[in-house]
Amino acid sequence: MKKLRAAITSVGHYVPEKILSNAELEKMVETNDEWIRTRTGISERRVLENGATSDLAVPAVQMCLKNRGISPEEIDVIIFATVTPDMFFPATACVLQEKIGAKKAFGFDVSAACSGFVYAITLGTQFIETGAYKKVLVVGADKMSAIVDYTDRNTCILFGDAGGAVLLEPSEDESLGILDHRLYSDGTGGDFLYMKGGGSLNPPSHATVDNKLHYIYQDGKAVFKVAVVGMADVSAEIMERNNLKGEDIDWLVPHQANLRIIDATANRMGLDKSKVMININKYGNTTAATIPLCLSEWWHAGKIKKGQNLVLASFGAGYTWGAVLVKWAY
């Protein structure tokens, strides 16, 4: 029997207009442009002044659907990766469904932090491969500015707001599409990157607010050590499983947390820097949005071609990490 293969058939993205530069952060915390650029690769990031995470997703999805020439009513499934949902419930996927008018779809959120998009696209692939659904929208969006403490220099320099989306459909050509995926998690990472306030462990109270529990906490050094190994390992693993060498890969599409982590992954894969999608300089770490934001920017610039091999790779809170091998289909 012919194998049903899922393919990315459209992409879209959105970044808010307001830029928060390193120079502006210098006025807010004890930091400097030189430190931020050399330690992270970030020069500026975007901030959504009004609205919520779903408002980052709506224009990204609209671009994605317009690009494919289909209406929202044709969407079967919405999978929304985020750590900054509009609310605990309903799911931001349902909020998005209403905002775009995807009346026929069902939707749910995925919580896997910076690996959210890699997890979500792997899930979406299953819905297509089983033959159950034909049009799956996979969204990664985060309004990180809602949970960043702009008095904490360890984290406020890193994060930004953005949204990205891809459409998955059955591939017309079995050799093109999502070819493989590897996902991992390790709960011991929970001590190093978290937001402790607001959930059932620490329901909102004056004390949780006073203790800043509704902000991101990260032990950067600890996370760096495992991220640099984890993202490189899983990228190398997916290449080995598919008998691919560095020269066979056209694009590495890495989660944008730190340029040094991206460089280490590219080195491990034997890739020239010209084959690595990097926009961390402009947007910082936009959590679930980084990978679809890269895909959409590069596709719209005409740089991704049908038949090319892409490795999507991420590492984030949980810990969660993973990689997806894509042979570009459109």
Residues 48-107 that bind ligand UT7 (CB under 6 A): none
CB of 251 to ligand UT7, least distance (A): 20
Q: From the list 37, 68, 134, 153, which residue makes contact with ligand UT7 (rule: CB under 6 A)?
A: 153
For 146, phi then psi, to 5°, come to -75, -20
Residues 238-277 that bind ligand UT7 (CB under 6 A): 257-258, 261
Query: Can 181 be counted among the known catalytic residues?
Result: no
- The whole-angstrom separation of Cα 10 and Cα 164 is 11
Catalytic residue among 67, 258, 285, 309: 285
Query: Can 13 be counted among the known catalytic residues?
Result: no
Angle, helices 33-40/259-269, rounded to nearest 10 degrees = 20
Angle, helices 290-300/116-129, rounded to nearest 10 degrees = 70
195-198 long-range contacts, CB within 8 A, separation 24+: 195/83, 195/147, 198/88
Q: Contact between 37 and ligand UT7 (CB under 6 A)? A: no
Q: Contact between 224 and ligand UT7 (CB under 6 A)? A: yes
Q: From the list 10, 40, 235, 265, which residue makes contact with ligand UT7 (rule: CB under 6 A)?
A: 40
Q: Pattern of binders to ligand UT7 over 288-327, x per CB under 6 A?
A: ---------------------------xx-----------
Structure tokens belonging to residue 269? 């894969």
Q: Contact between 185 and ligand UT7 (CB under 6 A)? A: no
Q: Calculate the alpha carbon distances from 192 to 122, 196, 219 in Å.
A: 26, 11, 5
Q: Contact between 227 and ligand UT7 (CB under 6 A)? A: yes
- The whole-angstrom separation of Cα 266 and Cα 253 is 10
Q: Contact between 31 and ligand UT7 (CB under 6 A)? A: yes
Over its C-alpha atoms, the chain yields an Rg (Å, rounded) of 19
CB of 213 to ligand UT7, least distance (A): 19
- With contacts defined by CB under 6 A, name the span among 31-39, 102-110, 123-131, 199-207 that binds ligand UT7: 31-39
Q: Contact between 27 and ligand UT7 (CB under 6 A)? A: no
State which residue, 227 or 310, has the beta carbon closest to ligand UT7. 227
Number of residues that bind ligand UT7 (CB under 6 A): 19
Q: Contact between 147 and ligand UT7 (CB under 6 A)? A: no
Query: Can 255 be counted among the known catalytic residues?
Result: yes
CB of 230 to ligand UT7, least distance (A): 9
Tokens 């059932």 sit on residue: 200
Tokens 């309903």 sit on residue: 90
- Number of Cα atoms under 13 Å in the Cβ half of residue 131: 4
Tokens 């819905």 sit on residue: 127
Count CB atoms within 10 A of the CB of residue 23.
11
- The whole-angstrom separation of Cα 137 and Cα 321 is 21
Q: Contact between 22 and ligand UT7 (CB under 6 A)? A: no
Burial of 243 (0-12, 13-18, 19+ CB in 10 A): exposed
Q: Contact between 220 and ligand UT7 (CB under 6 A)? A: yes
Q: Contact between 285 and ligand UT7 (CB under 6 A)? A: yes
Q: Which residues bind ligand UT7 (CB under 6 A)?
A: 31, 35, 39-40, 114, 153-154, 157, 220-221, 223-224, 227, 257-258, 261, 285, 315-316
